[in-house]
Amino acid sequence: GNSVTQMEGPVTLSEEAFLTINCTYTATGYPSLFWYVQYPGEGLQLLLKATKADDKGSNKGFEATYRKETTSFHLEKGSVQVSDSAVYFCAPLAVGRRALTFGSGTRLQVQP
């Protein structure tokens, strides 16, 4: 079946540190891949996406590359800010599926 595994949080970093949040998935075929972010007190919002192998999605300094060989879509940012503190969700949209499957989420806490 389709599933997604994210690294457990919380991830606690100091401002300007490098961030990696791991995400791997299992799915039939080649899904489209998404990262959503949930800031405190707000609804989920799309952060970035990639729709085919080797695509790189990017937004707000975050990047993720669609790696079909390792079925991964790790989220990275070179220098995190306090304002990046949020919960991040990896979500594949499998071929033939109508809706996203969300990972369990990874909480990021950035300290000044």
Please tell me the distance from the alpha carbon of residue 59 to that of residue 48, in angstroms, as a whole number.
Answer: 6
Structure tokens at 20: 């990696």
Q: Which residues of 11-23 are buried (b: 16+ CB within 10 A; e: fewer)?
A: bebeeeeebebeb
Please report whether residue 103 would count as binding other proteins according to CB under 8 A.
Answer: yes
Selected range binding other proteins among 20-28, 52-60, 68-76, 94-102, rule: CB under 8 A? 94-102
Applying CB under 8 A, the site for other proteins has a residue count of 22
Please report whether residue 46 would count as binding other proteins according to CB under 8 A.
Answer: yes
Selected range binding other proteins among 22-30, 35-43, 64-72, 77-85, rule: CB under 8 A? 35-43
Selected range binding other proteins among 13-21, 43-51, 57-65, 67-75, rule: CB under 8 A? 43-51
Peptide linkage before 40 cis (omega within 30 of 0) = no
Please report whether residue 93 would count as binding other proteins according to CB under 8 A.
Answer: yes
Please tell me the distance from the alpha carbon of residue 3 to that of residue 53, in angstroms, as a whole number.
Answer: 18
Please report whether residue 85 would count as binding other proteins according to CB under 8 A.
Answer: no
Peptide linkage before 10 cis (omega within 30 of 0) = yes
Please report whether residue 74 would count as binding other proteins according to CB under 8 A.
Answer: no
